[in-house]
A and B are shown apart, each in its own frame.
Chain A
Amino acid sequence: MIRILLIAVLALGLAVLPWLLPAQGYALRVVCLVLLFAAMSQAWNIAAGLSGQISLGHAGFFGAGAYTSTLLLIHFNLSPWLGLIVAGLVGAALAALISLPTMKLKGHYFALATLAFGEAMRVIANSWTSVTGGPVGVSVPFAEPSLALMQFQSLRPYFYIMLAALIVTCIAFQRIRTSALGLRLRALKNHADAASSLGVDTAAAKLFASTVSGALIAMLGVLYAQFQFFFDPDTAFSLAGISIRIALIAIIGGVGTVSGPLLGALLILPIEEATNAYLSSHAAGLSQIVFGAILIAVVILQPRGLLHLWKSRRR
């Protein structure tokens, strides 16, 4: 009874939150980003958290999604809602493509391969000026607030869109985790050979999880584009800003669990924003140094701790 009441209060609070904050204010912007990154972490969690393969290249799918839908909007006036679908397909295709050659890799090698993928996408986007506009980046054309074109002046509609995205990714994660696929992924994460001997097609499981994850992340890239109105290759395909960040959020919050990315995002993003706000008036890059230093500190002080966080907590 208490549980239901708490959930109701939470839901009500969430529904009302955007109206308690200034429509175009900084606070609401941060909240939206927290929701978005939590969703991205959850999508990463689906592949990496369940199967144990640390991908450092998810920015590749993210940026691909952002560029796909934005370019379709600019050149063909395609609504970003439809762009979402195309982006999802692109993300899925890329993920499948990358998954195949990296199937047998483990640990460092796998992280390496995925990192290379993300970086390759970034470099390609930077050099393919005729299509992507190159390092200068791309702007989402804004005419007027429009639901059909997923663009608004006020931040409030974005809040609900991001919230919906978060809910969708959480549901996807839970459904997969409790399904046969989820059991198989967790098995192969523990001991791949034993899983194989028990009839688990580890390659197929990893491929499927990877594809779902890639598709979701690409779609979240579309939301990002529509929210920020501008992005460039170094931001959309950023190793530190996207790939590492979403991995870290999931790991710190508790990987392999549905609440992990939520906790992680609530923890890390506001701290980052605070240090950013405080420090970037001094120099660009200072907040990133703090981010990196915190990362190093966490690893050094509790290398086992990351493992402790890394092994899924019982749900």
Chain B
Amino acid sequence: MSDASPGTVVLNVSGLSKRFGGLQATDDVSFDLVRGSIVGVIGPNGAGKTTLFNQLTGFIRPDAGSILLGERPIIGLAPHVICRSGLVKTFQNVATFGDMTVLENATVGALAHHPVAAAREKAAIALRRVGLQARMETLAGELSLPEKARLELARALATEPMVMLLDEVMATLTPGEQREIVEMVKELARGGMTLLVIEHHMKTVMTLCERILVLNFGRLIASGTPSQVASDPHVVAAYLGTRAASELADA
């Protein structure tokens, strides 16, 4: 699943477009993800980031364009098939399976590729990686928010993906907790994982990601290294007047 050599493109998005009624939510978006890279997706509210993620995971069908996971075209495939092919997304906090234990949550992910006994072991390993090994028998509903964020990661990791989409994992975390997650994500990338990250917290995005895609009104208006993007006039214009603009300037 993750045996592509460094430098290969694991996700290729080309000409992706989606319209809802009068709104062009995704407008001819194209980009590549190289193995082991951490790429951020930023943009003002309503820019189309979530819609993009939903098209990658198969919950929304694009009107036009193509998505290649490895060599495989994945448009039109059901979400669970896309997951088993190697692309997984984390949800924001409320998507953990509250009535199930932490271990059971992660096991569900591992079931994507293993029968139940082996899946439990793989799940335990994933939980150890995110530091939740002491909480395995706790009900997910009783976890604290940062623990839930880590569970999201572990669950997704258990599906043994090639590409992980992180949807605002940092949203409710303290700066200290954020630093931990950032370290974890960097370690995953060093191990060969490819990550696409949506974040609103500019500082985190700038330190975590080696490359940033900027969306506005569904279009990709800029793409480059953090410093390139921060000084791009189009990007600054898009964020003009928002707090994010000053964060960009400071980054």
A/B touching: CB–CB < 8 A: yes
Give A contacts to B, CB under 8 Å: 179-180, 183-184, 186-187, 189-191, 193-202, 256, 311-312, 314
B88 interface contact, C-beta 8 A: yes
Check B88 against A183 for contact (C-beta < 8 Å).
no
Check A197 against B79 for contact (C-beta < 8 Å).
yes
7 of the cross-chain contacts (CB-CB < 8 Å) are A180-B115, A183-B108, A187-B97, A193-B79, A197-B89, A199-B84, A199-B113
**Hey, which chain B residues are within 8 Å of A184, CB to CB?**
108, 111
Which chain B residues (3-23) contact chain A, with CB distance < 8 Å? none
Check B84 against A191 for contact (C-beta < 8 Å).
no
Which chain B residues (90-137) contact chain A, with CB distance < 8 Å? 91, 94-100, 104-105, 107-109, 111-113, 115-116, 119
A311 to B99, CA, bound (A): 7
B52-64 near A? 1/0 per residue, CB < 8 Å: 0000010100000
**Hey, which chain B residues are within 8 Å of A194, CB to CB?**
91, 95-97
**Hey, which chain B residues are within 8 Å of A312, CB to CB?**
99
Query: A186 with B88: in contact, given A194-B95, A199-B111 (CB under 8 Å)?
Result: no
Check A190 against B83 for contact (C-beta < 8 Å).
no
Of the listed residues A183, A197, A256, the one surrounded by the most CB atoms of chain B closer than 10 A to its CB is A197
- Looking across the interface, which residue of chain A has its beta carbon closest to that of B158? A198
Check A196 against B78 for contact (C-beta < 8 Å).
yes
Select which of A186, A193, A200 is within 8 A of B99 by beta carbon.
A186
Select which of A189, A197, A201 is within 8 A of B88 by beta carbon.
A197
**Hey, which chain A residues are within 8 Å of B155, CB to CB?**
198
Known pairs A186-B97, A191-B94, A199-B159. 14 more at Cβ < 8 A?
A: A180-B119, A183-B104, A184-B111, A189-B99, A193-B79, A194-B97, A195-B108, A198-B83, A198-B109, A198-B156, A199-B84, A199-B112, A199-B113, A312-B99
B139 interface contact, C-beta 8 A: yes
Of the listed residues A189, A196, A202, A311, the one surrounded by the most CB atoms of chain B closer than 10 A to its CB is A196
B203 interface contact, C-beta 8 A: no
B80 interface contact, C-beta 8 A: yes
CB distance from B210 to the nearest CB of A (A): 25
**Hey, which chain B residues are within 8 Å of A189, CB to CB?**
99
B149-161 near A? 1/0 per residue, CB < 8 Å: 0000001100100
Query: A197 with B119: in contact, given A183-B104, A314-B139 (CB under 8 Å)?
Result: no
Chain B's interface size range is 20 to 34
A183 to B80, CA, bound (A): 15
**Hey, which chain B residues are within 8 Å of A187, CB to CB?**
97, 100, 105, 108
**Hey, which chain B residues are within 8 Å of A190, CB to CB?**
96-100
A30 to B80, CA, bound (A): 47
Select which of A186, A191, A197 is within 8 A of B83 by beta carbon.
A197
Select which of A191, A193, A198, A311 is within 8 A of B112 by beta carbon.
A198
- Looking across the interface, which residue of chain B has its beta carbon closest to that of A311? B99
- Looking across the interface, which residue of chain A has its beta carbon closest to that of B105? A187
Of the listed residues A195, A199, A201, A314, the one surrounded by the most CB atoms of chain B closer than 10 A to its CB is A199
**Hey, which chain A residues are within 8 Å of B80, CB to CB?**
196-202
Query: A198 with B116: in contact, given A193-B59, A314-B139 (CB under 8 Å)?
Result: no
**Hey, which chain B residues are within 8 Å of A197, CB to CB?**
57, 79-80, 83, 88-89, 91
- Looking across the interface, which residue of chain A has its beta carbon closest to that of B59? A193
**Hey, which chain B residues are within 8 Å of A311, CB to CB?**
99
Query: A180 with B116: in contact, given A186-B100, A197-B88, A200-B108 (CB under 8 Å)?
Result: yes
Of the listed residues A189, A200, A311, the one surrounded by the most CB atoms of chain B closer than 10 A to its CB is A200
A314 to B57, CA, bound (A): 32
A179 to B108, CA, bound (A): 11
**Hey, which chain A residues are within 8 Å of B78, CB to CB?**
196, 201
